[in-house]
Amino acid sequence: MKEYKTEEEFLKDYDSSMYEKLSMTTDIAIISVSNEDTNNYRKNDKKMMSVLLVKRKDYPYKDKWCLPGGFLNPKDETLEECARRVLKRETNLSNIYLEQLYTFDRIDRDPRLRVVSTSFVALIDKEKLEEKVEHASWFNIISIKEEKNVVTLTLSNNEEIIDFSIKKELRERTTDRYQFVTKENKYLAFDHDLVILSAIERIKNKANYTDIVFNMMPEYFTLGELQQVYEVILNKKLLDPAFRRIIANKVEKTNKMKTGEGHRPSYLFKYKKNN
Amino acid sequence: MKEYKTEEEFLKDYDSSMYEKLSMTTDIAIISVSNEDTNNYRKNDKKMMSVLLVKRKDYPYKDKWCLPGGFLNPKDETLEECARRVLKRETNLSNIYLEQLYTFDRIDRDPRLRVVSTSFVALIDKEKLEEKVEHASWFNIISIKEEKNVVTLTLSNNEEIIDFSIKKELRERTTDRYQFVTKENKYLAFDHDLVILSAIERIKNKANYTDIVFNMMPEYFTLGELQQVYEVILNKKLLDPAFRRIIANKVEKTNKMKTGEGHRPSYLFKYKKNN
DNA sequence: TCAAAAGTGTTATCCCTACACCCATGC
DNA sequence: GCATGGGTGTAGGGATAACACTTTTGA
């Protein structure tokens, strides 16, 4: 897919019959949890969910942010291979959690040509990341508010703020399924606002009945840290004793300790392999 | 997409560069529950899950069964519109439960060209169906057996028996995710064995925490019938009192009765709209 | 000394399972 | 009468929520 710098360049090539051809892309919501310092030697870091966005420089998306993605090579690549190729390019990581999310296919989601996009969720432990990639930036999810089936998200990378809102229209009563419709979105290209919300909801949902959050944890962690990650994903406060009981048989105590935190040191745990 | 009758005809047109172009289809697992007579005036009908299959007559799928499906028209059709078009064609029904399932994209899933298929699950109440469509046939799911991560399914339409087995390979430990790999499949075209199993597992899963099964029920039903449907979907026996308590606030008692069954008559219930 | 988090124990409550039991019908 | 499913009540057990409490540390 050729990139255009200006509208003129774009229009010169433009041919509406392009719309009769079909292309596919994969878009990846790469999600992680970051630590924000609290300026209090006693307090633990505040955890926030964050998502990796890339700034587009080409027409007609100029200066809009979007999820990392790429066109599928139909000759010899599966969608997941395509997604892993993008992941490698953007994070230099392989072997990370990747799950097919949903196939987005609104006809006008790309003004250039008909593109169907299969989106993925990738989860990573941010500690594994080395350097920053050009044009890419981690955005913390500052707030998620839902009122009368309108969800408003605010993201920030400490330089820019991105906010958008999405209407959840009830489509199906028996299974409580909603269709997401963009209500306001100035900063994100395509339908990536919808992809981001879908990804967040998927992870939140799976956190309740799987061990998915361990994909965002380092090898060793304290139960307090783990609880904080659960709390930020589930978007609610948990009670310590209850949390510890539930998590107990999923983790393994090591004899390592975390000290120097201005309060009682804590044991480090690891995810328990066998079950 | 042109249809071929013989191998010669197919090879004459064949051009490996077709593989560089991409097509999409939708395939739909249309699932319903059927009543099988028990030849005992006292006993209720036995319920079975069933799925609609279509017999292919063209090369190279000759005489294989497959799920109803169709090519996406990239110019002006979304995947869901495409699926609804297929549904209308095969069942003459609109306005039925339809849910995107998964996008299947194995490179060699179609020997003719590169096709990525987004699959859907549709649920219907069989009582609403009028006549049989040509080449299409309902197959009851006679048995589902799982042993050491190999699932064996047996389907039958009372004339033919279709059986196939699928290996569930653990891909991801934290969320207990499996990749399905065909182990044996003589009768179904493409990867539709995998689609069928995915559809069954999706419904089974959702039956536990949503009201999805009501999409397969007629307007009025007895609690016994409803319980039978739950049992066939969940593939396990339920205890009457427990079931009735759980279901109680999802249904509404009417003053209609079902009589003439060789045992105490039962009240008819409907799905409760408000919640 | 104290704020903060680590970590444990206890009770009350809810929900589900399992079982027992009675009811109403058609042949 | 009897097989079959319709329908209800209740006791026991397990999980969870809520709260109280002790421990340990760095500044």
Tens of pLDDT, residues A44-62: 999 999 999 999 988 888 8
Interface test with A, best of B15, B96, B116, B206 (most A CBs within 10 A): B116
pLDDT number for residue A236: 93
- Which pLDDT value is given to residue B18? 55
Contact at CB, B211 and A97, closer than 8 angstroms: no
Residue closest to C16, CA→C1'?
A: B242
- Give distance CA A192 / C1' C27 (Å): 66
Q: What is the pTM of this model?
A: 0.93
CB contact under 8 A, A99 and B172: yes
Of B22, B174, B211, the CB nearest to A175: B211
CB-nearest partner of B20 from A74, A79, A116: A74
Percent of chain A past pLDDT 90, that is, above it, reads: 75
DSSP letter (8 states) at residue B133: P
Contacts of A76 in chain B (CB under 8 A): 107
Least confident range from A58-67, A223-232, B181-190: namely: A58-67
Gap from B256 CA to C13 C1', Å: 38
CA distances from B74 to A114, A149, B79 (A): 7, 31, 9
pLDDT of residue A1: 55
Residue A145 scores a pLDDT above 90: yes
Give residue numbers, 209 to 268 of B, with CB < 7 Å from strand C.
239-242, 245-246, 259-265
Contact at CB, B175 and A106, closer than 8 angstroms: no
Task: Name residues whose C-beta falls within 8 Å of residue B21's C-beta, 6 or more positions apart in sequence.
Answer: A21, A74, B113, B114
What confidence score (pLDDT) does residue B111 get? Answer: 84
With CB atoms and an 8 Å threshold, state whether B107 touches A77: yes
Exposure b/e, A163-183, CB count within 10 A at least 16 = b: bbbbebeeebebbebbebebe
Comparing C-alpha atoms, which of A149, A133, A131, A151 is closest to residue A141? A151
Instruction: Tell me the mean pLDDT per 10 residues along chain B, length 275.
Output: 67 62 95 90 92 90 93 94 95 94 96 93 88 83 95 96 97 94 97 98 95 96 96 95 93 92 93 76
Res A11: pLDDT = 66
Q: Alpha-carbon distance A173 to B94, whole Å?
A: 17
